Amino acid sequence: QVQLVESGGGLVQAGGSLRLSCAASGRTVSSVAMGWFRQAPGKVREFVAAINWSGGSTYYADSVKGRFTISRDNAKNTVYLQMNSLKPEDTAVYYCSAGQRADWAISPHDFDSWGQGTQVTVSS
């Protein structure tokens, strides 16, 4: 079982940037896709971004496309989410997840390991 620990969340003004990190331990995640999801109060968890095993293919939710960038460093067993031009509606707990196969996916059911989440709050 892989353990995932997110960091980098915080409070930022609208238009600002944050970089989330997700460090994996217990086993390597270099052969599986990784993803970021988020959950705002009173809402269901939603897909944000995903990256395939090599980092050569990525996919984004329409709401973050052009503003967020997912990347990975397999040598460090770490995945990142660079978030620019943040909006108040981006406020949520952000979760890192490890997939079940090499290609990226967007359904939570395709991910079998989850971090504890990191809070991102964007003020207007």
Per-residue pLDDT at 94:
98
pLDDT tens digits along 1-36: 899 999 999 999 999 999 999 999 999 999 999 999
Per-residue pLDDT at 1:
82
Mean pLDDT, residues 34-41 taken together: 97
pLDDT tens digits along 61-80: 999 999 999 999 999 999 99
Per-residue pLDDT at 92:
98
Cα dist from 20 to 2, 51, 70, 109, 119, whole Å: 18, 15, 9, 22, 10
pLDDT tens digits along 115-124: 999 999 999 9
Q: Does the pLDDT of residue 114 top 90, yes or no?
A: yes
Q: What Rg value do the Cα atoms of the chain yield, rounded?
A: 13
Length of the chain: 124
What 3-state DSSP class applies to 89?
helix
